[in-house]
Amino acid sequence: MHKLSIVIITYNEESRIRPTLESIKWCDEIVIVDSCSTDKTVDICKEYPNCKVYSQPFLGYGLQKKMAVEKASNDWVLSLDADEVVTDALRKEIQTILSEPVIQGSGFYVPVTMVFMNKVFRYGAEYKCMHLRFFNKSKGNFDTQNLHEAVQIKGATTKLRNEVLHYSYVDIHHYLQKMNDYTTIYANEALKRGKHVGKFISIFRFVFEFFRQYFIKRNFMNGYAGFVWSVLSVFYTFTKLAKLYEKSLYQN
**pLDDT tens digits for range 123-150:** 999 999 999 999 999 999 999 998 889 9
Averaged pLDDT, 192-209: 87
Residue 250's pLDDT band, with cuts at 50, 70 and 90, is confident
Euclidean distance between CA atoms 223 and 227, whole angstroms: 7
Q: What pLDDT sits at residue 204?
A: 86
pLDDT at position 184 over 80: yes
**Measured in whole angstroms, how far is the alpha carbon of residue 219 from the centre of its chain?**
20
Pairing of strands 4-10, 29-34: parallel
The rounded Cα 102 to chain-centroid distance in angstroms is 28
pLDDT band, very low/low/confident/very high, at 221 (cuts 50, 70, 90) = very high
- Residue ranges of domains in the chain, CATH in brackets: 4-166 (3.90.550.10), 172-251 (no CATH)
Q: What distance in Å separates the CA atoms of residue 149 and residue 17, rounded to the nearest whole number?
A: 21
Q: pLDDT tens digit string along 81-130?
A: 999 999 999 999 999 999 999 999 999 999 999 999 999 999 999 999 99
Q: What is the pLDDT of residue 226?
A: 97
The per-residue pLDDT for 199 is 83
Say if residue 202's pLDDT is above 90.
Answer: no
DSSP collapsed to 3 states, the chain = CCCEEEEEEECCCCCCHHHHHHHHCCCCEEEEEECCCCCCHHHHHCCCCCEEEEECCCCCHHHHHHHHHHHCCCCEEEEEECCEEECHHHHHHHHHHHCCCCCCCCEEEEEEEEEECCEECCCCCCCCEEEEEEEECCCEEECCCCCCCCEEECCCEEECCCCEEECCCCCHHHHHHHHHHHHHHHHHHHHHCCCCCCHHHHHHHHHHHHHHHHHHCCHHHHHHHHHHHHHHHHHHHHHHHHHHHHHHHHHC
- Per-residue pLDDT, averaged over 38-50, amounts to 98
Mean pLDDT, the chain, whole residue set? 96
Per-residue pLDDT, 252: 59
**pLDDT over 70 percentage in the chain:** 100
pTM listed for this prediction: 0.92
What average pLDDT does the segment 175-191 reach?
Answer: 95
- Distance of alpha carbon 125 from alpha carbon 81, whole angstroms: 18
Confidence of residue 206 (pLDDT cuts 50, 70, 90): confident
pLDDT beyond 80 at 2: yes
Average pLDDT for 183-212:
90
